[in-house]
Amino acid sequence: MRIKILACKTLEAEINRVLHEEGREDIPVIWIESGLHNYPKKLHARLQEEIDRITDCDRLLLFFGHCGDSVNGLVSGDFEMVIPKFSDCISLLMGSDERRNAYGRENAAYYLTEGWMRGERNLWVEYQYTVDKYGEEQAKEIAEMMYAHYRTLALLDTGTEPIDKLYQETEGIEKTLGLKRQIVPASVDRLRELLRGTLNPDFFDIVKPGETFRTMLGACTSVQ
């Protein structure tokens, strides 16, 4: 089976790890910049654009969550697509939406990984931009409003990169935004399952060739 991957750069380290461990570094990967997550319609358009370009493929693996419903309405080519049933990449790394939501409710958590910190539009980059534009005092006021319902900064530890490095990098965020850092166990298990093709229907949707993915319906409907 000819396999290709369409993936978010936020997950680059984790995906490259799984490809290496599974001996599948030969699989072509199309990387999508993480900043598009802030614009679901633009992300959807970019995903479809890349899907439409793909040839010589039997199965396309999307290493994405639903990400603001950006995968809703994606149309497969002459190949099947596999789309994880997770609201976003955080849930994908935590194993389920249920676990992510339960932890978030209990800890009022804002989630980060090393990949998110490398992203061009992470919360610290956005805060520094606000400081440059409005000054530090007003930037703090804006940040307090934006993150008022968060208490903790949940650092996902997938065992891929040293969590100590991320912990040190986020010290300034804790001090400035008042979010207490917590290390949260995560894993690449779902990524590995997606790559291996062990597709539990509780976690993955399969879109047949020539079909449109409809998340709101919970099913795939054929394109006429």
Spatial separation of the C-alpha atoms in residues 148 and 178, rounded to whole Å: 10
Spatial separation of the C-alpha atoms in residues 71 and 65, rounded to whole Å: 8
Residue written as tokens 């054929």? 222
> Looking at residue 118, what is its pLDDT?
81
Q: List Cα–Cα distances, 146 to 7, 43, 110, 187, in angstroms.
A: 28, 23, 11, 29
> Looking at residue 217, what is its pLDDT?
37
| Bridge partners, residue 84, by sequence | 204
> Looking at residue 115, what is its pLDDT?
87
**Letter for the amino acid at 79?**
F
Spatial separation of the C-alpha atoms in residues 77 and 75, rounded to whole Å: 7
Question: Residue 61 corresponds to which tokens in the numbers above?
Answer: 């693996």
Question: Residue 119 corresponds to which tokens in the numbers above?
Answer: 């992203």
> Looking at residue 216, what is its pLDDT?
53
216: Cα within 13 Å, side-chain hemisphere: 6
> Looking at residue 221, what is its pLDDT?
38
pTM value? 0.89
Mean pLDDT by 10 residues, the chain (224 residues): 96 97 98 88 96 98 93 96 94 95 94 83 81 89 86 96 93 91 97 97 96 66 33
Sheet holding 29-32: strands in order across? 29-32, 3-8, 59-63, 80-84, 204-207
Length of the chain in terms of residues written: 224
